[in-house]
Amino acid sequence: MPNYPSAFKIYDEAAHTILGDSPKLELLLENNNYTFAHEAGVFIPKSNTLFITSNQYPHPETNGTHIQISRITLPSSTHSTETTCTEITTDNIPLANGGVNYKDGILFCAQGTLTTPGGLAYMPLPSGHTSSTSYSSELLTTSFHNRPFNSPNDVVIHSDGSIWFTDPVYGSEQGIRPAPQLPNQVYRFDPKTGGIRAVADGFGRPNGICFSPDEQTCYVTDTDWIHGDGTTDGTRVSHIYAFDVKTYSGQPFLINRRLFAMADTGIPDGIKCDVHGNVYSGCGDGVNIWSPGGVLLAKILVDRGVANFCFGRDGQLFLLNEHRLWRAQIAPEHKGALLGI
């Protein structure tokens, strides 16, 4: 049996296949001035860069609520930890949160402000973008048939081109958005037609979302355990729900909702699958890993937890830990399902 570093905690023998013989956890960046590493985590293979969003903090000039998008230039090899962070500016992304690779750029969830609606914002990455500090973007949608979204949180792209995203009421609870006009729901947006559908409801606070590698299952995290004012309640859910994706009359539906797993520490926030269907989620004690059958296999322990993360190449994971950015290395064949690299 391998002698793993203390950051890797095993709960099931199947975890050894995922972690490999020599998993590692390394600190890449630290910034104690503000919580620069909170959400998104979008890996761009062509440039070996990572785009992340900060947590909310007072803007140093205006003192208003601000979220900073940063471009991380990653180490050139697994033997290096040399990493740089560049703060970028954008338009049309009011208070960015989750994000995903989209076309030749990134699709961000824009939470919105008290005066500006949130929605889905597309930020193209031009050729040579690694020298840029300013990017253009456009909001693709801001409402459900003229009822403004609450505060879009996380997003994933289906192979048919549709965009699926969560929309909890955290924004109003945090004082950055007006009172909600919609339930806590999951939506499917079709950019080809502009059509928008509510596809799942009944959540306390829907948060992370991803598909299984074959897209037959959709996973949604419910982080109702913590509300936007910071209050927590052990009787509220900190769960991952699984749905079957089935087509009726030419349209996909989420059916057979079932409890997939519960996070025992904090909440399951960002969520991803590897190419073998294992499910990873950022939780209050780090990244938790479950089998496709919902069995807790292992944890990558990080003090104060992980809100979101993403896969890089060949079993690398980049973990967003508020003031710190970490790189974990697991077995190279356990690639992220999103990019398959």
What confidence tens digit (pLDDT) does each residue in 290-300 have?
Answer: 999 999 999 99
Which amino acid does the sequence have at 130?
T
pLDDT greater than 90 at residue 278: yes
- What local confidence, expressed as pLDDT, does residue 206 receive? 98
- What local confidence, expressed as pLDDT, does residue 1 receive? 62
- What local confidence, expressed as pLDDT, does residue 239 receive? 98
pLDDT in tens, 30-77: 999 999 999 999 999 999 999 999 999 999 888 999 999 999 999 999
Distant-in-sequence contacts of 14-20, Cβ < 8 A, 24+ apart: 14/291, 14/295, 14/297, 15/289, 15/297, 15/298, 17/331, 18/274, 18/278, 18/289, 18/297, 18/298, 18/330, 18/331, 18/334, 19/298, 19/330, 19/331, 20/315, 20/330, 20/331, 20/332, 20/334
- Kindly report the average pLDDT of the chain as a whole number: 97
CA torsion through residues 268, 154, 164, 107, sign: negative
pLDDT in tens, 67-107: 999 999 999 999 999 999 999 999 999 999 999 999 999 99
Question: How do the domains of the chain map onto residue ranges?
Answer: 35-278
Cα–Cα distance for residue pair 241/337, rounded to 1 Å? 19
Question: What band does 330 get if pLDDT is binned at 50, 70 and 90?
Answer: very high
- Average pLDDT of the residues in 164-184: 98
- What local confidence, expressed as pLDDT, does residue 34 receive? 97
pLDDT greater than 80 at residue 333: yes
Could you name the CATH architecture of 35-278?
6 Propeller (2.120)
Strand 138-141 vs strand 119-124: parallel, antiparallel, or unpaired?
antiparallel
At 277, list the tokens.
Answer: 């269907």
pLDDT in tens, 198-207: 999 999 999 9
- Average pLDDT of the residues in 234-249: 98
- What local confidence, expressed as pLDDT, does residue 2 receive? 78
pLDDT in tens, 141-156: 999 999 999 999 999 9
